[in-house]
Each structure stands twice: as C-alpha cells, then as structure tokens.
Amino acid sequence: MERFEISDRRFAHYVLANAPLEELATGFRWIEGPVWMGDWNCLLFQDLPRNRTMRWSEAAGISVYRAPSNYANGQARDRQGRLIACSHQARCLYRTEFDGEVRTLVTQHEGKRLNAPNDVVVKSDGTIWFSDPLYGISTDYEGGRQISEQPPALYRFDPESNDIRVMAGDFDGPNGLAFSPDERRLYVAETGDQTSDTPRQYIRVFDVSPDGRRLSGGDVFHKVEPGYCDGLCVDEEGNLWSSAGDGVHCIDPGGRLLGKVLVPRTVANLAFGGRKKNRLFIAGSQTLYAIFLNRRGAQWP
C-alpha cells in the first residue's frame, strides 16, 4: 500500500521516502487523546471505551498508566507540564498534580454541568481551551448515557481565577482544536450532530484577539474527505495535520490540502512527539501507529 498521497509538491518535502508507517500496538477498543510526555519519553493515550489511559514507550512498549480513567478523551500538558484530561463520565477536566493527586478543575458553566469534554489545548498564557459536545453522554459506550444540561460549546477556562466562558456556542459538535504557532488563530473541528443524516462536518478557523479573551470569524476553513476531522495538530510552520477516514491529511494555513499519510484504519486523533517532535503518533481505531516526518510539531511561543 502506498504510504502517501501527494496533492501539492511541498508535501513531498514533508515526508520521508524511507520512513515506514509503524504499527506500535494494536488490539485496543478505540483509541484517542494522544499526548507526548517528553520528560517521560513516552506517549500517553486513551483506550476510551475500555476506560483506561495507556502508555507507550520505545523501551517498554505498552502498559496501563491509569485505570479507571473516568472515560478520559483528549489530553494536553499545561505550561508546568501537568497532564490535563477531558473526562466524559465525570463531565469535567481533571489535572494530574506533580505528586500524583488527580484534581478536578472544572465541572460546570453558569451552574449547569458540562456535557462531556472531548478535546483540550493549553494556551501559552495558561488558559485551557476545550470542546464540550454531547457525544460522550449520548451512549453507554464511552462514558454512560446522561442528561445534557446545556448546548454544545467551545470554552476557555482560566485555572488561576476559575473563570469559565463560552468562546463559541454555534457548534453542533465541537471536537478537536489547535492554535496556530503564533496563537493568532484557533482551529476547531465541527463534527456535527451525529443523529442527523447530514451532520455539519468541517474545520473552522477563528481569529484570537490579542488579549486572548475573544474569538472572531469562525468560517469554514477546510472540509476533510473521506470521513471527517476529529482531532488535529499543527506543525512548526502552521500546517494542520488532521485525522480523516483514510489517514492523516496535511492542510496548509490557506486551507489547501497538501497531501495525506494513508493509514489502513480510520484515524481519530494524532500528536507530534519524540525527541525532535518529528514523529507523528496516530490513534487509528484499534491500532496505534507512528511515522517519522520531515516536519516538527509546533513549539509553544
């Protein structure tokens, strides 16, 4: 099977002719939320319907990091390096402190419970941005059916002040998100109302105000096909790497598809990692894949 599909000549320089798509581990139920832990030299990710956070390292392979995980999904590290995770079942964000204590950060907005936080990023000012669609509480598979108390939304949470605010409410199903390297843009996947025959599914782009407190825009940036964008990440030059039905799609800051890393299974989420941040870890349904690229993941400004 071909590993790449090149739509734009630039993409030929982004991939490595002799780097294989490696299958690191398989047999999971559905994997999600990869995050690279550079100081631990490992990847953490979720086996979501199995209610476990898994760990992979080159030296030791696969082990369980945390079980139960409270049906955790997206993960990110804050500026201090602490792990932040979205929990479907507990309908919260939680943070793992340096001593191992797991602290609940936020469960509510205006007195109503969050739905099922799905994915999360941390901005350089320490604020935590996350999506809160209904998916995780609409079935018993990924956390348990529960009643929604408020519409889906994209939130900004400030862990210093505990201020939580809706940054965009006009989503059917906000999902993966990523800032551009200069943090002037925020990309958010809309994965739609999945009870609809024709769910809205595309990546939106917002402009972030200089003080980081407001978003504007929100237009459709790119529509991934086949499948849709669930999780996404950004490289050092601001290209987006999006999950898709046939692998990973690379999209330039103008919204143009540059090429694809073809993966034999549907991809849900992905993260750059490794010592040089040039290894893309891919959560592909039941299988964890990785591939070395001639790109590096974005650095924090």
Which two three-digit tokens encode residue 73?
């999904």
By beta-carbon proximity to Mg ion, the closer residue of 75 and 118 is 118
By beta-carbon proximity to Mg ion, the closer residue of 180 and 243 is 243
Q: What is the torsion angle, in degrees rounded to the nearest 10, for the CA atoms of residue 100, residue 106, residue 112 and residue 116?
A: -70
The beta-strand segments (E) located in 209-294 are 215-222, 232-234, 240-244, 247-251, 257-262, 269-273, 279-284, 287-292
Residues lying near Mg ion in the complex (CB under 5 A) are found at 118-119, 175, 230
Sequence-distant (6+) residues with CB within 8 A of 63 are 54, 55
In the bound complex, what is the minimum distance in angstroms from residue 47's beta carbon to Mg ion?
Answer: 14
By beta-carbon proximity to Mg ion, the closer residue of 175 and 278 is 175
In the bound complex, what is the minimum distance in angstroms from residue 229's beta carbon to Mg ion?
Answer: 9
| 8 A C-beta contact, residue 96 and residue 102 | yes
The single residue listed with the structure tokens 């669609």 is: 133
By beta-carbon proximity to Mg ion, the closer residue of 173 and 273 is 173
| 8 A C-beta contact, residue 154 and residue 167 | yes
By beta-carbon proximity to Mg ion, the closer residue of 14 and 155 is 155
By beta-carbon proximity to Mg ion, the closer residue of 176 and 218 is 176
How many C-beta neighbours within 10 Å does residue 39 have?
A: 7
Selection from 44, 25, 24, 26 nearest residue 34 by Cα: 44
| 8 A C-beta contact, residue 288 and residue 301 | no
In the bound complex, what is the minimum distance in angstroms from residue 243's beta carbon to Mg ion?
Answer: 8
In the bound complex, what is the minimum distance in angstroms from residue 73's beta carbon to Mg ion?
Answer: 6
Residues 77-109: b if buried by 16+ CB within 10 A, e if exposed: bbeeeebbbbbbbbbbbbbbeeeeeeeebbbeb
In the bound complex, what is the minimum distance in angstroms from residue 187's beta carbon to Mg ion?
Answer: 13
In the bound complex, what is the minimum distance in angstroms from residue 297's beta carbon to Mg ion?
Answer: 18
In the bound complex, what is the minimum distance in angstroms from residue 259's beta carbon to Mg ion?
Answer: 23
By beta-carbon proximity to Mg ion, the closer residue of 132 and 230 is 230
